Amino acid sequence: MGKNKKGNKYGRPQGGGGPSRDAASNVGNADQPEDVEAGSLDDNDHEDPDDGTSEVELSDVDSPGTETAVSADIDHLASPTLADDFDAGDDPVRIEIADANGSTGSHAVDTGLAGIEGDVRGVLIQIAGTRLLLPNATIAEVLSYAEPDAVEGTPDWLLGRMRWRGWQLPMVAFSRMLGIAASETGGLGSKVVVLRALGGNAQAPYFAMLTQGFPRLVTVSRDTLMVLDDGGALPAGVQARVQLSQDEALLPDLIAVESMINEVLAQAAAAAA
């Protein structure tokens, strides 16, 4: 498929459509505040998502396997440490998790979980061929899939750029990046997860990932999370293979993914100059 040149690496929209926001709903507790309806955005205005109420539909954590969803504000679900105070230079949280042999040790999990102790809210994200486990607070919003604007001179795992709240976000197909599913594409039922970047680049604070359905909220604890170490090399962009209760998943290295995105966009921009 041919790719078109599209402005700078990131920045304000330069025309074209983008994914439409889903009906707002999250999983939360009964004492969560009432939802605030997300207003429409002017094409020429930039809105900082952290100043608003980002909304996302997630499966009910207490009813796995169901598609029931209840409503809450994602910023109230997220830990304040993670959502507001996390800096890219912070040390990763160290949690004791069992390895494949049943022993426990201190494993660094550098996914934005800095300073969190005890149980952590996470999300399982289905992509082609596998699941991903991420902290809940790394998700800014979940959108219905719409075809992104292609970027010439980039690998096929970078699907293009999408317009979101005044930003032009790169959208990645993570299964393609890992070499798990070379044909991963968006379609009916596909969703796009907007992720908060952890690399500290103010010009690129978010990026998007193609998913196959809504994320599912889970509770991550020392007792339920186990690292699966088969001795094999991990793909670039993956920190670990883990098992959470009965679910196996990959633990992405979001900072490495951001670096890969920035590198290919910089190369494409240089080639087009």
pLDDT, mean of residues 16-39: 39
Q: Pick the residue with more confidence: 117 or 172?
A: 172
* Residue 16 within a domain: no
The set of residues, in sequence order, having a beta carbon less than 8 Å from that of 124 and lying 6+ positions away, is 131, 132, 133, 215, 216, 218, 244, 247, 249
Q: Phi and psi dihedrals of 247, rounded to 5?
A: -100, 125
Q: Is residue 32 a part of any domain in this protein? A: no
Is residue 36 situated within a structural domain? no
Q: Is residue 18 part of a domain?
A: no
The residue segments making up the domain with residue 263 are: 49-272
Q: Let me know if residue 183 belongs to a domain.
A: yes
8 Å CB contact between 25 and 69:
yes
Asked if the structure places residue 148 within a domain, the reply is yes
Residues 70 and 61: beta-carbon distance below 8 Å: no
Residues 40-49 have pLDDT tens digits of 334 334 454 4
Q: What is the CATH number of the domain that holds 190?
A: 2.40.50.180
Q: Check pLDDT > 70 for residue 257.
A: yes
How far is it, in rounded angstroms, from Cα 4 to Cα 147?
A: 13
Count of the separate structural domains present in the chain? 1
Residue 49 phi/psi, 5-degree rounding, is -60, -25
Residue 133 within any structural domain of the chain? yes
What phi, psi does 211 have (nearest 5°)? -135, 165
Q: Which residues contact 37 (CB under 8 A, 6 or more apart)?
A: 24
pTM for this prediction: 0.62
**pLDDT for the residue 37:** 35
**Phi (first) and psi of residue 259, to 5 degrees:** -60, -40
pLDDT confidence tier of residue 255, bands split at 50, 70 and 90: very high
Residue 253 Cα distances to 43, 130, 133, angstroms: 32, 15, 11
Give the pLDDT confidence of 165-204 residue by residue, as tens digits: 999 999 999 999 998 887 888 888 899 999 999 888 888 8
Confidence of residue 11 (pLDDT cuts 50, 70, 90): low
Residue at 21 is within a domain: no
Q: Which residues contact 220 (CB under 8 A, 6 or more apart)?
A: 119, 120, 121, 122, 133, 244
pLDDT band at 143 (very low <50, low <70, confident <90, very high): very high
Average pLDDT score over the chain: 69
